[in-house]
Structure 1
Amino acid sequence: MAVALKKVEGKKDFVTENWHQKAREIQKWGDVVQDLPHRLDAKVRADMCKKLNQLLADSIQLRDMYKKHHWQVAGPTFMQLHLLFDKHFEQQVEMVDTIAERIQLLGGVSIAMGGDVAEVTKIPAPPRGREEVPVQIARLLEAHKTIMQDCHDIAEAADEAGDDGTNDMVVSDILRGNELQSWFIGQHLVDMPLTYAE
C-alpha cells in the first residue's frame, strides 16, 4: 500500500530535503569515548577495543565462511554438513554480536563492513568457487585456531589490565563456543569406514 506524502504549503518536502543527508562522523574509527562512566581508563579501553576489533574481523570472516560452505557443500555427507555449517553460522552470528557490543560498551567503534573486515582479518579468504569437503573443513579448523589464539591473547591482556568483563566474555562466550565448533567439524576428518569395521 503506497503512502502519499502531503505537502504542506510553506514547508519543505521532508523526503526531498532529507533523503541524501551528509555529515561528519560522530566518532572516528579507533577513538574511544573519553568521558564514558566506566571504571577502566580510556587508554585501557582503546587497547581492548583494538584487540577486540581484530577478533571481530576474524569472527566475521569465519561466520561468512560457514555460510559459504553451507551453500556449496557436496558429497555423501552433504545433509549432515549442510545443516551443521548453518547451525555453526547462526552461533557465529551471536558471537559476532557479542564481540561488537563489548566494543561499543567500552566506548569504541565496531568494525562492520565486509571491505573493512577483508582488510583487517588474519584469516585467508577462500576462493569464490566450490571446494571439496576436506578442504572446507580444513579452512574452518584453521580459522577456529586463529580465533582461539585471539581469545587467549585478549584474555591474557584483559586480565593484566583488570578488564574482567572482556576477559570473561572472550573465554566464556567466544573461546568455548569456537572450541566446541572446532571439535564438531574436526570429527568429520577422522578416517573411519562407513560400512564395515576393521
Structure 2
Amino acid sequence: MSTQKPVRQEFGTVEENALRIDEDKAEQLIDALNTDLAATEVLYHQLRKHHWTVHGAEYRDLHLFYQEAYEDASEGADHIAERVQALGGVPVSRPADFQERSPVEPEPEDIYEVRTMMKNDEEMYGDIIERVRDHVELAENLGDYATSELLREQLEDLEEYAHEIEHFLAEDSLTKW
C-alpha cells in the first residue's frame, strides 16, 4: 500500500521565489548548491565513519575532532539545503543521489590506518574547498550576495578543518613511528 501524496514540487524544478532572483539565475545557483550539499553529505558520512573507527595513541583527540567536524558538516548541509529551498528549488535528499551527484568520492567501507584516514579526509576537504570557491564566484557574478556569503562561511569552516587535519598529519609528534 502506497502512502505517497501528490507531489507539491518536483526535484529539478524552480519556482518563483520571494528573494526576487530570476529563474535562470536561481537554477544555476540551485544546481551549484545541490552539488555542494551532496559533497557535504558525503564528507559527513566519511567523518562519521572515522569518528566510529579511529584508534591509536591519539584516539581521544581524534574522536572528539571527528565528532565536531561531522556535526559542523551536518549543520552546513542544513544551511545549504535551506538556501536551495529559499531560491525556489528542491534540495537533493536521497543518500544514493548524494553519492551520484557529489564531486568527491567516499573511501571504501574498510577501516584504514589513522594516517591514511586523515589523508583521505584532507584530500576530500581540499576538493570540496576548490568547488565551493568556484560557487562563491558564481553567486557573486549572478548578484546573489546572500548565497555568496553563506558559501564563504562554509568555506571558512572547511578550510579550518583542512588546516586542523594538516596539523594532525605533521611529522612532529610525541608518539613513536
Q: How many residues align?
A: 176
2:104 touches 2:124 (CA, 8 Å); kept in 1?
yes
Number of the residue aligned with 1:33? 15
Q: Which amino acid aligns with 1:117?
A: F
2: CA distance, partners of 1:114 / 1:22: 19
Counterpart selection for 1:116 from 97, 103, 107: 97
Q: Which runs of 4+ in 1 moved over 4 A?
A: none
Q: 1:167 to 1:195 in 2, by over 3 A?
A: closer
Greater shift in the superposed pair: 39-48 or 20-29: 20-29
Q: CA deviation at 1:21?
A: 2.5
Counterpart selection for 1:141 from 122, 128, 149: 122
How is 1:1-198 mapped onto 2 (pairs within 5 angstroms)? 20-34=2-16, 36-172=17-153, 174-194=154-174
Q: Which amino acid aligns with 1:185?
A: I
Q: CA deviation at 1:20?
A: 3.8
The percent identity for this pair of structures is 28
Q: CA deviation at 1:38?
A: 2.4
Q: Which runs of 5+ in 2 are unaligned?
A: none
Q: Which amino acid aligns with 2:115?
A: P
Q: CA deviation at 1:195?
A: 6.6
Greater shift in the superposed pair: 116-125 or 51-60: 116-125
2:12 touches 2:89 (CA, 8 Å); kept in 1?
yes
2:57 touches 2:175 (CA, 8 Å); kept in 1?
no
1: CA distance, partners of 2:34 / 2:63: 29
Q: CA deviation at 1:25?
A: 2.3
1: CA distance, partners of 2:87 / 2:133: 19
Q: Which amino acid aligns with 2:18?
A: P
Q: Which runs of 5+ in 1 are unaligned?
A: 1-18
2: CA distance, partners of 1:122 / 1:22: 31
2:129 touches 2:158 (CA, 8 Å); kept in 1?
yes
Question: Normalising by structure 2, what TM-score?
Answer: 0.94
Question: Normalising by structure 1, what TM-score?
Answer: 0.84
Q: Which amino acid aligns with 1:28?
A: E
Q: Which amino acid aligns with 2:25?
A: V
